[in-house]
Amino acid sequence: AQSVAQPEDQVNVAEGNPLTVKCTYSVSGNPYLFWYVQYPNRGLQFLLKYITGDNLVKGSYGFEAEFNKSQTSFHLKKPSALVSDSALYFCAVAIYGGATNKLIFGTGTLLAVQP
Amino acid sequence: DAGVIQSPRHEVTEMGQEVTLRCKPISGHNSLFWYRQTMMRGLELLIYFNNNVPIDDSGMPEDRFSAKMPNASFSTLKIQPSEPRDSAVYFCASSGLRVYEQYFGPGTRLTVT
């Protein structure tokens, strides 16, 4: 079955430092992978996606993610963290085929950026 | 566009009562998703519609839950009767041609006492 795992419940980083939020996936076939962000008391917002092509994907708010097929990973990264990046981050994989097209979300990682 | 609209934003009800949550997707989007978020279970997909037709309802927890989409601009999620374990934040999301780019509403926080 298609699934993603986020091994860290929380990541703490100081403002200005680089950040990484980890995600590994398990899929049959080629993966479609996504990152979403949830700010407090808000719905999820799309950040970026990997469908095919360049392994380094750039998204909103200066975030990027690196697709690594050999390690089955899709880690979210940002060179310099901001306090405003503090939020809950979800990795997701798409299940597709026939009439079924949906996302399976990971458990989420809370990113806390300290000033 | 106003984005995905959900109502009410907060609902407090007593066990056994019927609860109806409402969603208006983004105009032109043809897929609509209902999710439930709790601390214990995280984000769960309950059901999704494509062109107003329910495609996958395998996430609907039990018969007390039902969802409808009578037209392209409106959907409801109903719980009857409600139970305390239904307390959660319920999100509606919609997507267009790029099916995997889902736009989430602000959610309805449901508390069943």
pLDDT at A99 over 70: no
pLDDT digits (tens, 9 = 90+) for B28-60: 999 999 999 998 888 999 999 999 999 889 899
B49 touches chain A (CB under 8 A): no
- Whether A44 sits inside 8 A of B48 (CB atoms) is no
Residue B24's pLDDT is 98
**pLDDT averaged over every residue in chain A:** 92
Chain A contacts to B (CB-CB under 8 A): 32, 34, 41-46, 49, 90, 94, 96, 99-108
pLDDT digits (tens, 9 = 90+) for A10-35: 999 999 999 999 999 998 888 889 99
Which residue from A17, A48, A34 is spatially nearest to A111, judged by alpha carbons?
A17
pLDDT digits (tens, 9 = 90+) for A73-83: 999 999 999 99
B58 touches chain A (CB under 8 A): no
Q: How far is CA A72 from CA A5, A93, A106, B101, in A?
A: 10, 12, 14, 22
Between chain A and chain B, the number of residue pairs with CB atoms below 8 A apart is 52
Contacts of B57 in chain A (CB under 8 A): none
B93 touches chain A (CB under 8 A): yes
The length of chain A is 115
According to DSSP, the β-strands at A56-58 and A44-50 are: unpaired
Which neighbouring-strand residues pair with A92?
A34, A105
- Whether B100 sits inside 8 A of A41 (CB atoms) is no
Please list, residue by residue across B71-110, b when 16 or more beta carbons sit within 10 angstroms of its beta carbon and e when fewer do: ebbebebebeebeeebbbbbbbbbbeeebbebbbbbbbbb
Which residue from B87, B99, B4, B41 is spatially nearest to A105, judged by alpha carbons?
B41
Instruction: Give the single-character DSSP code of A30.
Output: S
Is there a contact between A57 and A49 (Cβ–Cβ < 8 Å)?
yes
pLDDT at B12 over 60: yes
